[in-house]
Amino acid sequence: MENYILEACVDSVESALAAQNGGASRIELCGSLIIGGTTPSPCLFQEIREHSDICTHILIRPRFGDFCYTDYEFRIIRREVRNFRKLGANGVVIGILKPDGTLNMEQMKALMEEAGDMSVTLHRAFDVCADPLEAMEQAKELGIATILTSGQKNYCLEGKDMLKKLVEREEGKITIQVGSGVDADTIRRIQPYTGAHAFHMSGKQNLESRMVYRKEGVSMGVASISEFEIIRTQEEKIRQACQVLESL
């Protein structure tokens, strides 16, 4: 397949470099991927820029949880979009819903103005909206370039019918980017069915902490999550996904 997009979702310099070396088209830079991703530190973005020129889109999400934000949170989101534009990010990944599950068009329009000439992706807030087809048309109206979606299911293979329907409605105005559970095998199975040409994956692996001394019974966060496992993107997983896309 020509002109495919493989985006790697990363939250570290090490993962960004692995994604680039594996052949990713671009990265979505986040913080705290283990909870689905939050807005990354500007310093993380700057450190990556010192070592890589890979196209970088920034997730703007102030907290874990739903996508219905307070006025304080919206002001933070707006400021983050503005700041990352000034820092030279290629794009931002955003999404705000109203309590009734529709896109908050007023706030999204304000964010589009802040984004200026950056590329904009509507993130998986789309997957919990009330009417995905209506939201897709609204995204086109806003001038959003990409919708990241699993077809409103936990995993993209479960949402393949919706993904196919969405891809058929791109009309050259927007790109459906398939996410959640994506790897080389998933792409091989879902691409011919949906016709999608853009995919989003973390390619993650769990690495053991370098810590030798390990204090027992003290947790810095969720007790079920080990403090001594580090999640990183695996270069080979990205490479394998690229190879599948090139072969289709």
Q: Supply the pLDDT for residue 227.
A: 81
Among the listed residues 23, 95, 28, the one whose alpha carbon sits nearest the alpha carbon of residue 56: 28
Q: Supply the pLDDT for residue 224.
A: 67
Please write the tens of the pLDDT for every residue from 61-80: 999 999 999 999 999 999 99
| pLDDT > 90 fraction of the chain, expressed in percent and rounded | 88
Among the listed residues 45, 34, 36, the one whose alpha carbon sits nearest the alpha carbon of residue 12: 45
pTM of the prediction? 0.94
Please write the tens of the pLDDT for every residue from 26-46: 999 999 998 899 999 999 999
Average pLDDT over residues 50-54: 97
Please say whether the beta carbons of 11 and 204 come within 8 A: no
- Does pLDDT of 226 surpass 90? no
Please say whether the beta carbons of 24 and 7 come within 8 A: yes
DSSP string, 114-131: HHTTSEEEE-GGGGGSS-
| Residue ranges with strand state E in 52-126 | 55-59, 91-94, 119-122
What CA–CA distance (Å, rounded) separates 32 from 49?
19
| Pairing assessment for the beta strands 5-10 and 91-94 based on DSSP bridges | unpaired
